[in-house]
Chain A
Amino acid sequence: MIYTFDDIVISGFSAVTAAGNGIEAVLELLRSGRDALSPVPDDVPGGNGQRWGKALGFKASDFMPPLKARKLDRCSQFAVGASGLALKDAGIDPKEIIPERIGIALGCGFGGVANSAEFLGGYFKGGVEGLAPVLFPNTVSNAPASNASIEHGLKGPNVTLVQRFCSAESAFVMACRFIAEGRADVMLTGGADDLTPLMITGFDATGQLRRYAACFGEGSGILVLESAAHAARRNAPVKATVETVAAIGLFPAGHERDGADRLFSGAEQCDLISLSGIVGDAPPLMERVGGRAVTDIAPVLGRSLAMGGTAMATLLASLKPGHQGLHLAASPEGPYYAIRFTGGATKASDPRDPGKV
Chain B
Amino acid sequence: MVKKRVVITGLGVFCGAGKNVAQFSGALLNGESGIGPLDLFDVSAFPARIGCQVKGYDPLDHFDRKTARKLSRADQFGLIAAREALADSGMAGHYSPFDMGVSMGGGAAGMFQSEQWLRSLLAGEKAAPVLLRGVLPDKTATEIARACNLAGYQGTVTTACSSSATAIGWGAELVATGQQRAVVAGGSDTLSLLTFGGFNSLKVVDPEPCSPFSLGRQGISLGEGAAFLVLEGEDDALARGARVYGAVLGYALAGEAYHMTAPEPTGSTAARVMGNAIAVAGIDSGRVGWVNAHGTGTPLNDVVESNAMKLVFGERAPSVPLISTKAMTGHCLGAAGAIEALATVIALNHRMIPQTLNFRGRDPECYLDYCHEGKRPCEAGIAMSNSFAFGGNITSLVLGL
Residues on A lying within 8 angstroms of B by beta carbon are 1-3, 99-100, 103-104, 108-110, 113, 116-117, 119-121, 123-125, 127-128, 131-133, 136-143, 145-147, 149-150, 152-164, 167, 170, 174, 177, 181, 183, 198, 201-202, 205-207, 247-252, 255, 258-259, 262, 305, 333-335
Contact = CB atoms under 8 A, between A and B. Distances in A.
A7 to B, nearest CB: 12
Contact of A1 (B101, B136, B259): B101
B346 interface: no
16 contacts: A109-B136, A119-B194, A120-B115, A123-B193, A123-B197, A124-B122, A138-B260, A141-B158, A146-B393, A149-B257, A158-B253, A158-B255, A158-B257, A163-B155, A249-B151, A335-B153
A146 B151 contact: no
B8 interface: no
B255 A145 contact: yes
Given A1-B153, A139-B198, 12 more contacts: A120-B118, A120-B119, A121-B122, A136-B198, A142-B390, A149-B255, A159-B159, A161-B155, A161-B157, A164-B138, A202-B135, A249-B102
Contacts of B393: 142, 146, 158-159
A304 to B, nearest CB: 13
B260 A103 contact: no
Contacts of B135: 113, 202
Interface of B: 45-46, 97-98, 101-102, 106-107, 111, 115, 117-119, 121-123, 127, 129, 132-133, 135-138, 141-142, 145-146, 149-160, 166, 170, 173-174, 177, 179-180, 193-194, 197-202, 252-261, 269, 272, 276, 389-393
A159 B253 contact: yes
Contacts of A3: 177, 179
Contacts of B258: 150
Contact of A110 (B136, B150, B201): B136
B323 to A, nearest CB: 26
B261 A255 contact: no
Contact of B157 (A120, A154, A159, A259): A159
A206 B133 contact: yes
- In this complex, which of A140, A158, A174, A177 has the most chain B Cβ atoms within 10 angstroms of its Cβ? A140
B197 A120 contact: yes
Contacts of B269: 155
A126 to B, nearest CB: 11
Contact of B197 (A128, A142, A154): A128
- In this complex, which of B115, B166, B257 has the most chain A Cβ atoms within 10 angstroms of its Cβ? B257
B257 A154 contact: yes
B145 A150 contact: no
A174 B127 contact: no
A100 B253 CA distance: 11
B151 A248 contact: yes
Nearest to A154: B257
Contacts of B261: 137
Contacts of A202: 117, 132, 135
Contacts of A109: 136
A133 B257 contact: no
Across the A-B interface, give the 6 residue pairs with the lowest CB-CB distance, nearest first: A158-B255, A146-B391, A249-B154, A136-B198, A205-B129, A133-B201
Contacts of A142: 158-160, 389-391, 393
A69 B132 CA distance: 30
B391 A140 contact: yes
Contacts of A249: 101-102, 145, 150-154
A2 B152 CA distance: 10
A119 B257 CA distance: 24
A206 B257 contact: no
A131 B257 CA distance: 27
Contact of A100 (B98, B149, B272): B272
Contacts of A137: 260-261, 390
Contact of B166 (A159, A181, A207, A335): A159
Contacts of A262: 98
B257 A150 contact: yes
A229 B315 CA distance: 38
B140 to A, nearest CB: 11
Contact of A255 (B121, B151, B256): B151
Contacts of A252: 97, 149, 151
A146 B166 contact: no
Contacts of B201: 128, 131-133, 136
A156 B255 contact: yes
Contacts of B391: 140, 142-143, 145-147, 149, 158
